[in-house]
Chain A
Amino acid sequence: MAPLGGTMDIKENMEKMYYEALSTYLKDQNEQALYQGQKISRLNIKYNISPEEIISMHKNNLIELYPDLPEKVMDSFDFLLEVMMGYGIAYREHQSLRHQQQELKTEIEIAANVQHTLLETKIPDIKGLEIGAISVPARQMNGDYYHFVQDEYERIGVGIADVIGKGIPAALCMSMIKYAMDSLPEHRHEPNSVLESLNRVVEHNVDPSMFITMFYGLYDPHDKQFSYASAGHEPGFYYDAATGNFSDLDAKGLLLGVDKKTRYRQYEKTVNPGDMIILLSDGVTECRTNDGFIERETLIGFIQKNMHLQAQEIVNNIYKQLEKMQNFQLRDDFTLIILKSNV
């Protein structure tokens, strides 16, 4: 808020500007004076001057310029002033709501930072396996989540989850998954048992209208086995270097939070040198362009084009490509993970 003296100066200056512009315009109706009027309008908004004050300013200036105007004309401005009162109130309300919106925005930004710190996960450094991961929220807060853990046998656990929905409710829900994951017993990283435990937590704690899909995989570098299970999650891809084929990483299983007794089936795959495991959220496949959703084949094409790069570069490039295809407007949270075997 400007100090009182400052406000008075602004008002006085405004009166002067108004007087000059108005008298010029009334003398000969030129565009330059009207342009001046537009400037005054902007300044009035800047200094929170309400419509009723402008009408009063107009009336005062008019009396000064033309003292002999009929009294009825002058009285009409008092009527106009009364009519504009409602607009003045609406204008002030609008400003206050705008201020509140700004505050909310700041608050959400802080919340997004808190979430970011909360959900942070370290990509493990392991010989023979290159890992790239990217997760970008559609709005400020992310309803996707990915997580890496490495156990005492050097096995790498990778989880990717997606709350149905986006924004703050989805993000709040994700924080719970993170805590549930952290409190899983050290020795229980078998994908099916991880999903079964999380399913019980979600079923117990989350609003029945909220569902979470999740994929969990465990890679053992000693026998090169990748075991995985899925709770209704968007299937990823498996790239077989020997044949050059991409196949869907299919796994059947019910969403988390539907039924607390759900059992998950575990699948196994042997990872050969050059093979790739690609995990994603539906924000990747439901990326909508002008021609509709992108095809999984299109996505495979992008992966093939970037395959020679480092895993992190591959996911970064694909994100950039898809972001551009959607005119830089993500409709859903986007998460893409690539595990690339080097040995």
Chain B
Amino acid sequence: MEFQSCVKIINEWDIVAARQLGRNVAKELGFGTIDQARITTAISELARNIYLYAGQGSVSIEKLNINGKSGLKIIAEDQGPGIEDIRRVMEDGYTTSGGLGAGLPGAKRLMDDFDIESIPGEGTKIVATKWLR
């Protein structure tokens, strides 16, 4: 691991800090404006989920370089209530119908890879990656 930086999410302003961190790294890696906006929006969504549903957690940003491919990895982790039915929260129209923003399917679409692990009562870990083209 060459680079990792982490922001604790406790209050709403930490979402901004997480966005800022993500944007800085995305810029450094050479992502264009659109991808920068996509990455920060995804970070926003994940951080907001932590803030709203878990109370607190963290968002880490990692630079990746695998086989000459650069990328940015977001790791959003919390020890909140976890998700009972992952399939359901990953369904289109599930979160948006409740007016809660883009939700996880939205964040997933903005990134290239998206992985979610959750244990009810223990917490949730989401790892999402965007590759530089």
Residues of chain A having any CB pair with chain B under 8 Å = 52-53, 56, 59, 78, 81-82, 85-86, 89-90, 92-93, 96-97, 100
A85 touches B37 (CB 8 A): yes
Closest chain-B Cβ to A138's Cβ sits at a distance in Å of: 26
CB within 8 Å of A: which of B9-54? 32-34, 37-38, 40-41
A residues less than 8 Å from B110 (CB atoms): 89
The 24 listed contacts between A and B (C-beta, < 8 Å) are A52-B34, A52-B38, A56-B32, A59-B33, A78-B33, A78-B37, A81-B34, A82-B37, A82-B40, A85-B37, A86-B41, A89-B41, A89-B102, A89-B110, A90-B96, A90-B102, A93-B92, A93-B96, A93-B102, A93-B105, A93-B106, A96-B92, A97-B93, A100-B92
A residues less than 8 Å from B34 (CB atoms): 52-53, 56, 81
B109 at the interface (CB under 8 A from A): yes
When C-beta atoms are compared, the residue in chain A nearest to B32 turns out to be A56
B residues less than 8 Å from A82 (CB atoms): 37, 40-41
B residues less than 8 Å from A96 (CB atoms): 92, 105
A residues less than 8 Å from B96 (CB atoms): 90, 93
Closest chain-A Cβ to B76's Cβ sits at a distance in Å of: 17
Given contacts A92-B109, A93-B96, 5 further A-B contacts (CB under 8 A): A52-B34, A52-B38, A53-B34, A59-B33, A90-B96
Interface size for B (C-beta < 8 A) is: 16
Proximity bits, B59-71, A CB within 8 Å = 1, else 0: 0000000000000
The DSSP consensus for interface residues of chain A is helix
A residues less than 8 Å from B41 (CB atoms): 82, 85-86, 89
Kindly list the 4 A-B residue pairs having the minimum CB-CB distance in the complex, ordered from nearest: A89-B106, A89-B102, A85-B41, A56-B34
Q: How far is the CA of A97 from the CA of B109 in the complex (A)?
A: 13
Residues of chain B having any CB pair with chain A under 8 Å = 32-34, 37-38, 40-41, 92-93, 96, 101-102, 105-106, 109-110
Using A89-B106, A89-B110 as known contacts, say yes or no to A81 and B37 having CB atoms under 8 A apart. Answer: yes
Q: How far is the CA of A52 from the CA of B109 in the complex (A)?
A: 14
A56 touches B33 (CB 8 A): yes
Most chain B CB within a 10 A radius of its CB, from A53, A78, A82 = A82
B102 touches A97 (CB 8 A): no
Q: How far is the CA of A56 from the CA of B93 in the complex (A)?
A: 27
B37 touches A93 (CB 8 A): no
Closest chain-A Cβ to B31's Cβ sits at a distance in Å of: 12
Using A90-B96, A96-B92, A100-B92 as known contacts, say yes or no to A52 and B37 having CB atoms under 8 A apart. Answer: yes
A residues less than 8 Å from B109 (CB atoms): 89, 92-93
When C-beta atoms are compared, the residue in chain A nearest to B40 turns out to be A82
A residues less than 8 Å from B101 (CB atoms): 86
Q: How far is the CA of A187 from the CA of B101 in the complex (A)?
A: 64
B residues less than 8 Å from A93 (CB atoms): 92-93, 96, 102, 105-106, 109
Using A78-B33, A92-B109, A93-B106 as known contacts, say yes or no to A85 and B92 having CB atoms under 8 A apart. Answer: no
B residues less than 8 Å from A81 (CB atoms): 33-34, 37
B residues less than 8 Å from A90 (CB atoms): 96, 102
Q: How far is the CA of A228 from the CA of B32 in the complex (A)?
A: 78
Closest chain-A Cβ to B132's Cβ sits at a distance in Å of: 15
A residues less than 8 Å from B40 (CB atoms): 82
Q: How far is the CA of A97 from the CA of B93 in the complex (A)?
A: 8
A residues less than 8 Å from B105 (CB atoms): 93, 96
Q: How far is the CA of A89 from the CA of B107 in the complex (A)?
A: 8
A residues less than 8 Å from B32 (CB atoms): 56
Closest chain-A Cβ to B39's Cβ sits at a distance in Å of: 11
Closest chain-B Cβ to A45's Cβ sits at a distance in Å of: 17
Most chain A CB within a 10 A radius of its CB, from B33, B38, B96, B109 = B33
Closest chain-A Cβ to B128's Cβ sits at a distance in Å of: 14
Q: How far is the CA of A238 from the CA of B116 in the complex (A)?
A: 67
Closest chain-A Cβ to B95's Cβ sits at a distance in Å of: 10
Contact among A56, A59, A78, A86 with B102 in the assembled complex (CB-CB below 8 Å): A86
Q: How far is the CA of A78 from the CA of B40 in the complex (A)?
A: 13
Q: How far is the CA of A82 from the CA of B42 in the complex (A)?
A: 12
Closest chain-B Cβ to A82's Cβ sits at a distance in Å of: 6
Most chain B CB within a 10 A radius of its CB, from A89, A90, A93, A100 = A89
A residues less than 8 Å from B93 (CB atoms): 93, 97
B38 touches A85 (CB 8 A): yes
B residues less than 8 Å from A85 (CB atoms): 37-38, 41
Using A56-B33, A92-B109 as known contacts, say yes or no to A97 and B92 having CB atoms under 8 A apart. Answer: yes
